[in-house]
Structure 1
């Protein structure tokens, strides 16, 4: 006997049924999910509300990908692990900027760390419409970009031949804050560096033993500090440099303790605000007067440095704007070779301006 279909079973909501319910075109419903920038915010909310009420989950992404050749997914390749990238003030602001643009244009984000296996990288490569590569690149990633394995791509805070990039002028910015800080007449400056080499552990940095890629953020910031040191009458080769391999308090604290004990600096030029905040925390624990006995500068302009006392002297960069611009460039497949965003000096209490 033939089995009867249950007449009361609910029918699966479709794009057409939502369009009919609202008396609008199917294209309008599709745009609400895939191209939200094409609709007014009020109309899009009406479509989404009706879809929720009818149980419509949106267009099938696999089917759309097969039809259009697009997944509407942008892959984000991160230099650090996910937990750090989502909690670090600079990285999270950068990702927020990307998210704003992707939301507006109906794209989704897929996160991957550069330490992922080759198998995962291959899967990642097959499903994204474009790629944003953030931070210093290991040799394997750099080679893959050069081969065109990840295309179209935009690099951020890292230059690579023939790949569009978004960054700041790290060398000019670090030179700016270095010259400002050294104008106070510091006699024992030191540099607290960040990720000087992907292979190097945290500790004292030996310029003669560790090779650096000239296009990296760390190389450029060190070059800017060196220029300022030379202009102030210091031999950069004699100024101690300490490296921290990850931008966290946990990783930096032992390095900072060793730096303050072994070199007794009267000025520490830091390559990030997080490193500078670690110096300030250890200095406070030891009763070191800031800025009387020790001046400290940072780099990034994160809120944590500006919402404390003494206020951190630093370089500000707009990480959210950097993320927005990078996302727009990869969506538009921009042919711009390089975009340099502005920075500016924030004069706080940890390294005040010289009187007169």
Structure 2
């Protein structure tokens, strides 16, 4: 085997063909007879040539056929949050159908690396930003790249198409539902990082504000609508936070959690404390993940087309890559009333 890293010329010499013939064997196989291509590939194996450098090929083509999805959290979160999994499923399905790849990119780099540093290095044709606050360093890094951008579940940025329901108005639907059921002492369970220790969740903040505002407008006292934060956005953390809420006196007659996974944790804590849902406590969530319908009791929640949001975001990104002007589709949210909410058990 020749010394040094093998190249197209190395393969050409081994196979007894031109450099162009080797290139065609990888990039335009229809230009060669099957016998010639087989001879070239066999020669490549003998000299240890792995094929053209994909990075160099992307630079020559001017595209990577890859769309980056930027996440608020580190990568494991993408597989732990059922709502995010559903959005990513929609993105992946649309990109795959168009022959594009998906690259997950955490907004925060590993360890103490500069925020947005990884985002500045990834080779992609467009970026989809998922639930990222406008002042997050990742947004600045994405804008600096001057790539086509799409946002999902985030506050709007100028000239950046945004996909998702109106979180503020959708949460108000939950508030109105609980108010009509007679609930006047209500808690909101959210997840926000402690000061300076993690990414903010603009969608969660919007849901919290929309829910509280709707109740305050109806005359519910401010101190009867309290906000509490779980350590993480998962079922166990929701249960732990709910256990503290249910231990106070007087306890709330209803709890609204800004995600279904937190709401299911609230139901778990209620069962552990011997508090019947919905007879003694109403619980509502947001997202309408599959477990919301199958849980016992089934969960009242807000459905807002998570899979369709992913499909729409990917479609917009592809159209922006192609240089088209785009308009985001309107994806409505609706309240789905199930077995976890009922009329307040006692007068407020």
Give 2:187's match in structure 1, choosing from 183, 190, 206. 190
Write the distance in 1 (CA, Å) between the matches of 2:137 and 2:114: 9
Instruction: Give the secondary-structure state (helix, strand or coil) at the position aligned to 2:266.
Output: helix
- State the number of aligned residues: 307
Summarize the Cα distance change of 1:335–1:6 in structure 2 as closer, same or farther, 3 Å threshold. Answer: closer
1:100-125 C-alpha deviation (Å, 9 max, x unpaired): 11111111111111111338735654
Give 1:161's match in structure 2, choosing from 147, 158, 161. 158
Give 2:130's match in structure 1, choosing from 126, 131, 134. 134
Cross-structure match for 1:236: 222
User: 2:78 matched to 1:93?
Assistant: no
Question: Is the CA contact (8 Å cut-off) linking 1:130 and 1:150 kept in structure 2?
Answer: no
Cross-structure match for 1:64: 57
Cross-structure match for 1:251: 237
Cross-structure match for 1:37: none
Question: What is the CA distance between 1:220 and its match in structure 2?
Answer: 1.8
Question: Is the CA contact (8 Å cut-off) linking 1:164 and 1:335 kept in structure 2?
Answer: no
Instruction: Give the secondary-structure state (helix, strand or coil) at the position aligned to 1:75.
Output: strand
User: 2:305 matched to 1:309?
Assistant: no
Cross-structure match for 1:344: 334
1:165-203 C-alpha deviation (Å, 9 max, x unpaired): 1121111111111101221111321111233x573779x
Summarize the Cα distance change of 1:150–1:271 in structure 2 as closer, same or farther, 3 Å threshold. Answer: farther
TM-score for the superposition, normalised by structure 2: 0.77
TM-score for the superposition, normalised by structure 1: 0.75
Write the distance in 2 (CA, Å) between the matches of 1:252 and 1:320: 24
Question: What is the CA distance between 1:222 and its match in structure 2?
Answer: 1.9
Question: What is the CA distance between 1:66 and its match in structure 2?
Answer: 2.3
Question: What is the CA distance between 1:81 and its match in structure 2?
Answer: 2.1
Summarize the Cα distance change of 1:16–1:72 in structure 2 as closer, same or farther, 3 Å threshold. Answer: closer
- Superposed, 1:204-219 pairs within 5 Å as 216-219=202-205
Question: Is the CA contact (8 Å cut-off) linking 1:144 and 1:150 kept in structure 2?
Answer: no
User: 2:11 matched to 1:14?
Assistant: no
Write the distance in 2 (CA, Å) between the matches of 1:123 and 1:144: 7
Summarize the Cα distance change of 1:87–1:119 in structure 2 as closer, same or farther, 3 Å threshold. Answer: closer
- How large is the Cα RMSD of the aligned pairs? 3.4
1:217-240 C-alpha deviation (Å, 9 max, x unpaired): 123212221232124420235421
Cross-structure match for 1:45: none
Report the more deviating stretch, 151-160 or 298-307.
Answer: 151-160
Instruction: Give the secondary-structure state (helix, strand or coil) at the position aligned to 1:192.
Output: strand
Give 2:100's match in structure 1, choosing from 107, 111, 134. 107
Write the distance in 2 (CA, Å) between the matches of 1:292 and 1:232: 24
Summarize the Cα distance change of 1:201–1:68 in structure 2 as closer, same or farther, 3 Å threshold. Answer: closer
Write the distance in 1 (CA, Å) between the matches of 2:14 and 2:154: 61
Question: Is the CA contact (8 Å cut-off) linking 1:201 and 1:243 kept in structure 2?
Answer: no
Give 1:175's match in structure 2, choosing from 165, 172, 175. 172
Write the distance in 1 (CA, Å) between the matches of 2:30 and 2:219: 72
Question: Is the CA contact (8 Å cut-off) linking 1:291 and 1:349 kept in structure 2?
Answer: yes
Write the distance in 2 (CA, Å) between the matches of 1:352 and 1:237: 22
Summarize the Cα distance change of 1:72–1:199 in structure 2 as closer, same or farther, 3 Å threshold. Answer: farther
1:294-339 C-alpha deviation (Å, 9 max, x unpaired): 0000110011111122111111121111111111111111544654
Write the distance in 1 (CA, Å) between the matches of 2:95 and 2:128: 12
Summarize the Cα distance change of 1:257–1:19 in structure 2 as closer, same or farther, 3 Å threshold. Answer: farther
Cross-structure match for 2:316: 329
Instruction: Give the secondary-structure state (helix, strand or coil) at the position aligned to 1:262.
Output: coil
Write the distance in 2 (CA, Å) between the matches of 1:70 and 1:158: 27
